[in-house]
Amino acid sequence: MNRKSRILAVAAMAVIFLTAVILAVHFYVKPKSDRVNIISGGQIVRTIDLSTAEDCQFDIIYEGRRNTVEIKNHTICVISADCPDLICVKTGAMGADSSGPVVCLPNRLVIEFEEASADGKSG
Amino acid sequence: MTNTKRIVRAGLLTCIALIIFVVEMQIPLPVSVPGMKLGLANIVTVYAVYVLSVKETALILTARLILGAVFSGNISALLFSASGGFMCLTAMLILSRFIDKKHIWLCSMFGAVFHNLGQIIAAAAVTGTLSVFAYLPLLTVFGCIAGLFTGICAQTAVNRTEKN
Ligand SMILES: [Zn+2]
């Protein structure tokens, strides 16, 4: 490996890493929207306005698999699920300090802020 | 090297990868992000990229992915680990032509980046939403660090075994 290609490779890695760090911080920026979409199996099954939503609990079922969603104090989270990894539960509440989506891959569930998708499309 | 030796070597490496994989399942991560893992079993893949043939490396990875899914009892995760794993492998196989054995850690880091990319693309396809890409930066930061570590491990292994 010559000096030039080594510098190029290290520089490329540094750019990727720093870009990721900057974008990762963005993940924790407070959301601009109050509206969340609940997407199950690729379909929007519910849209909720967190600023006006009453506290409640409901189940989202996809092909017999369940995620129990709770709305409390204008935040939304998955409180229990029958997926193997329970990452969706451990992710915690969305709306208070995180704008990142709650994702349950085994049960094909995504809870996202409405504008999050638009952000994703524009980069 | 005879065919028998090759088969035994590939089998042993698959075993090592699986053992690392199973042990890693017991290590809890402080954060829970979909798809975030230390990926220590990748040490074997990185090693194989630099020492074994393309075919053998792909076979070891395939066996580890399928058996790993069976052992972890999370078959549905196979789709994501496979898309990530093969994207990572492809990237490393191409890069290993340019990156020499003194810079395996660098190749491993690039591999980790592509692993995360592959996972997220599969996740976006499966959930039908682009918002899962919000996790890509976090996964990349973590993946680069984990990839550096696995790369250093693999590099040490490659250099030690070459001396003998
Ligand atoms: Zn889940």
Give the pLDDT confidence score for residue A119 in this predicted structure. 47
Helix, strand, coil % (nearest 5) of chain B?
80, 0, 20
- Mutation pick from A13, A30, A44 vs chain B, by most beta carbons of B within 10 Å, is A13
Give the model's confidence band at B106: pLDDT under 50 very low, under 70 low, under 90 confident, else very high: very high
pLDDT at A97: 63
How does pLDDT run across A90-119, given as a tens digit for each residue?
888 887 667 778 999 999 999 998 864 444
CA of A80 to the centre of ligand 1 (A): 8
Beta strands in A11-74 (DSSP E): 35-40, 43-49, 56-62, 65-72
Domain B3-163 has CATH 1.10.1760: yes
DSSP letter assigned to residue B77 = G
pLDDT in tens, A3-60: 888 999 999 999 999 999 998 887 777 667 788 999 999 899 999 998 888 999 999 9
Q: How far apart are CA B122 and CA A28, in angstroms?
A: 24
Q: Taking 60 as the threshold, does the pLDDT of residue A73 lie above it?
A: yes
CA B117 to chain centre: 13
Mutate which: A5, A17, A26, vs B, most B CBs within 10 A: A17
Orientation angle between helical segments B42-51 and B3-25, nearest 10 degrees: 160
Ranges of each domain in chain A: 1-30, 32-115
Give the percent of chain B with pLDDT over 90: 77
pLDDT given for residue B32 in this prediction: 78
In this predicted structure, the answer to whether residue B147 has a pLDDT above a threshold of 70 is yes
Token pair listed for B109: 């880091």
Mean pLDDT across chain B: 93
pTM across the whole model: 0.89
Contact of A9 with chain B, judged by CB distance below 8 Å, is answered with yes
* DSSP code of residue B133: G
Backbone φ and ψ for B12, nearest 5 degrees, come out as -65, -45
Dihedrals phi, psi of A58, to nearest 5 degrees: -155, 160
Give the CATH superfamily of A32-115.
N-utilization substance G protein NusG, insert domain (2.60.320.10)
Helix, strand or coil for residue B97? coil
Contacts of B136 in chain A (CB under 8 A): 20, 23
Sorted by where each begins, the domain ranges of chain B are: 3-163
Per CB-CB distance under 8 Å, the chain A contacts of B151 are none
Per-residue pLDDT, B163: 75
Of the partner residues B74, B102, B128, the one whose CB lies closest to the CB of residue A39: B128
CA distance A108 to B128: 9
d(CA B145, CA B159): 21
